[in-house]
Amino acid sequence: MMISVKDFSFSIGGKQILFDVAFDLPKGAYLSILGPNGAGKSTLLKCLLRLHEKGTAKGSILIDGKPLEGYSQKGLARLISYVPQAGGWIPPFTVQELSKLSRFPYISGLSGLTKKDVEAVDRALETTGLTAMRDRPLKTLSGGERQKAFLAAAVAQETPIMLLDEPASFLDPHHTSEMEKLLIRLNQEQGLSMIAVTHDLNHPAKTKGLALILRKGRVMYFGDVPGLLGKGVLEEAFDHQFVYLENPKSGLPVILAE
């Protein structure tokens, strides 16, 4: 599943938010979208999910060469799953019920879940380590566990592409690291293409993936992490100075804000 964004511009209510965004994402890539607040990261993510109906788009977003508008709602849901930002509305469901809802794109008409659907849900809960918590209502979980439940629901959707809106914000270091490991595993072992909006500048290095840096709605950088370091890109994007170190344990680059 290759995603290709071509000269994509987007405006809402006369205010232009994205300007000629263009990039090609190969199958199985892990893309982190970075940028200062208000740069248009979430808008780009929502456009990729086709969640923005109010607004005018120019240019195109193609998945496997087919424009996004060409997919039916369920067809798109079989291609792209979505993990919302933590800290939003908590649905009144249990962990397992939330994952079961993700099987909607595979259900036709009034029929219920098939054996295949139930197995997919079970697998998703196992992958995310939530099998023991399956019957717990989301409201009774900690923030970290709940975010994992949303991830499990996206996994249960069995899509080749997963989109995440700040998957690890509001989580403590332990849960952040657990979440990251899960996402990396999904990408590297199961071959899912991931696109994550994040404020964590070190996320792309940890995922060994690509970074896209937005500033004022324009792409400032698109490429791998080594190409990003020490070239003043981050400094210009965030209007701030950074220090570049190396993690003595993992050998990965670490970016610190001064």
Q: Which of residues 103-132 bind another protein (CB under 8 A)?
A: 104-105, 107, 110, 112
Span of 46-54, 167-175, 183-191, 210-218 interacting with another protein by CB under 8 A: 46-54
16 or 202: CB nearest another protein: 16
Span of 102-110, 169-177, 189-197, 216-224 interacting with another protein by CB under 8 A: 102-110
Among 1, 57, 62, 101, binds another protein (CB under 8 A): 101
- Binding residues with another protein: total (CB under 8 A): 35
Among 14, 65, 73, 189, binds another protein (CB under 8 A): 73
Non-local (6+) Cβ contacts of 40 within 8 A are 10, 17, 18, 214, 216, 217
183 or 255: CB nearest another protein: 183
Q: Can residue 90 be called a binding residue for another protein (CB under 8 A)?
A: yes
Among 77, 133, 182, 225, binds another protein (CB under 8 A): 77
Given CA atoms 197, 203, 206, 210 in this order, what sign does their dihedral have?
Answer: positive
> 19: exposed, middle or buried (C-beta count within 10 Å: 0-12, 13-18, 19+)?
middle
Given CA atoms 123, 124, 129, 135 in this order, what sign does their dihedral have?
Answer: negative
Non-local (6+) Cβ contacts of 171 within 8 A are 86, 143, 144, 147, 179
Q: Can residue 80 be called a binding residue for another protein (CB under 8 A)?
A: yes
Pick the closest to residue 256 from 248, 220, 173, 241 (CA basis).
241
The strand pair at 15-25 and 66-67 is best described as unpaired
What's the CA dihedral at 53, 112, 95, 101 to 10 degrees? -10
Among 15, 54, 115, 249, binds another protein (CB under 8 A): 54
Span of 93-101, 141-149, 181-189, 250-258 interacting with another protein by CB under 8 A: 93-101
Q: How many CB atoms sit inside 10 A of residue 116's CB? A: 11
Return residues touching another protein (CB under 8 A): 12-13, 46, 49-51, 53-54, 73-78, 80-82, 84, 88-93, 97-98, 101-102, 104-105, 107, 110, 112, 139, 157
